[in-house]
Each structure stands twice: as structure tokens, then as C-alpha cells.
């Protein structure tokens, strides 16, 4: 039943729009000119009454055309905004999916894809910084017993987070991360949480 209604609604919307256009056309071309020129009409010939109606009809039609153009412009702008938002959402979803890939180069590509989205979309920047924080916290703990430095994808995440923090008031949550022997100079001190993070051998955060 719901699917049936969904298929009917677009057709009904088109029909209502057509009826509205017909009603406005009738209003501008016949009804309003006749009403506005009804008085005074004594002593006027048929030709004079027709001219008076046409004189009223012309600005009404121009007004409706202007309204139609404005409506078309608003609809086009709205469509563009929705299309752009959908495109950003698709890019974001794909980039986040790359962070969970088994291949390090793919994960690094996802990190840099998130940076581009964060620079393009102000409203998504805070969320992306949060995602990068979670990514760094989890990835920094993987296989650290066998290496002195964090993996390359973590380094990329730190660099990207630092650049996004520079254009944001958000904070980066690295609490509990394994940041031993990590270069943290790309991160501003006043925007990073480091409670319980391992930082032996790490370079200090930069002053704001």
C-alpha cells in the first residue's frame, strides 16, 4: 500500500502544479483584467474596453513571468545544494570505508580524502576530526611491540588532523593512544586531549 502511494504522489504533484499554472494564467489573462476594468466603463466602446483590459493584462503577465523566473531560480539553487550535499556524503562514506581497509596505502588515501572534505565542508569538519581521532587511537595500538614508530597511516592521520585543527575550534581526542616516538609537533597543544596516552620519546605538541 505504501509503495502504491509513493508511485502516485509524483504524478499528483505534477497534476497540481499544472492546475496551479492554468489557474494563474486564467487569473492574469481574463479574470483580473475584467475585474479591474469593470468600473468605470460607461461610455467606453468595445475597442476601448479591450485596450483597457490589455493595458492591465500586460503588467500582470510580466509579474507572473517574474515570479516564475524567481521560482525557477530558487528551485535550481535548491537542487544544486542538495546535489552537492549528496556528493559530499558519498565522498565521506567512501573515505571512512577506506579507513577500515587492510591495505595501508588505501587507509592513507582515505585519510587524505577526509582532509579534502574537511576543507571543502565546514559543517563536516568537526565530525571528520572526531573520526580521525578515533582512527589514530585504534591504529596507534596495532603491532606497536614490533616497531619504534607508529605506522604510516597514523602519521598521516596526525598531520591531517593538525591541518584541520588549524582552521577549526574543535578538539582532537587522543586519550589512551600509543604515541611513543611520535612526532606531535603538528598538533596544537590547546586542542588535543592526551590523558593516559603513551608518549615516551614523542616530540611535544606545538604551542598555539
Q: What is the pLDDT of residues 69-83, one digit of tens each?
A: 777 777 676 766 656
pLDDT of 21 above 90: no
pLDDT of 172 above 90: yes
Rounded to a whole number of angstroms, the CA Rg of the chain reads: 32
Give me the mean pLDDT over the 190-201 stretch: 93
Give me the mean pLDDT over the 162-173 stretch: 95
pLDDT of 145 above 90: no
pLDDT of 175 above 70: yes
pLDDT of 7 above 80: no
Do 115 and 156 contact (CB within 8 A), yes or no?
no
For the question of whether the overall pTM of this predicted structure is more than 0.75, the answer is no
pLDDT band at 157, cuts 50/70/90?
Answer: very high
Q: How far apart are CA 190 and CA 206, in angstroms?
A: 9
Reported residue count of the chain is 208
* Residue percentage of the chain with pLDDT more than 90: 48
Q: How far apart are CA 40 and CA 196, in angstroms?
A: 89
Q: Give the model's pLDDT for residue 4.
A: 47
Helix axes 104-120, 122-139, angle to 10 degrees: 150
pLDDT of 100 above 70: yes
Give me the mean pLDDT over the 181-201 stretch: 94
pLDDT of 8 above 60: no
Q: Give the model's pLDDT for residue 191.
A: 95
Amino acid at each position: 500500500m505504501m509503495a502504491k502511494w509513493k508511485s502516485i504522489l509524483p504524478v499528483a504533484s505534477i497534476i497540481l502544479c499544472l492546475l496551479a499554472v492554468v489557474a494563474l494564467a486564467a487569473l492574469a489573462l481574463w479574470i483580473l483584467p475584467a475585474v479591474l476594468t469593470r468600473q468605470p466603463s460607461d461610455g467606453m466602446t468595445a475597442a476601448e474596453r479591450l485596450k483597457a483590459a490589455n493595458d492591465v493584462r500586460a503588467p500582470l503577465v510580466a509579474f507572473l513571468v517574474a515570479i516564475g523566473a524567481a521560482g525557477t531560480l530558487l528551485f535550481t539553487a535548491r537542487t544544486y545544494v542538495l546535489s552537492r550535499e549528496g556528493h559530499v556524503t558519498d565522498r565521506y562514506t567512501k573515505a571512512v570505508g577506506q579507513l577500515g581497509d587492510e591495505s595501508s596505502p588505501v587507509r592513507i588515501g582515505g585519510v587524505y580524502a577526509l582532509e579534502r572534505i574537511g576543507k571543502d565542508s565546514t559543517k563536516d569538519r568537526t565530525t571528520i576530526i572526531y573520526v580521525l581521532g578515533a582512527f589514530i587511537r585504534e591504529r596507534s595500538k596495532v603491532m606497536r611491540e614490533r616497531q619504534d614508530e607508529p605506522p604510516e597511516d597514523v602519521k598521516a592521520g596526525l598531520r591531517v588532523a593538525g591541518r584541520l585543527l588549524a582552521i577549526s575550534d574543535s578538539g582532537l581526542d587522543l586519550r589512551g593512544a600509543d604515541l611513543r616516538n611520535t612526532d606531535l609537533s603538528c598538533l596544537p597543544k590547546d586542542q588535543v586531549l592526551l590523558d593516559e596516552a603513551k608518549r615516551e620519546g614523542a616530540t611535544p605538541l606545538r604551542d598555539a
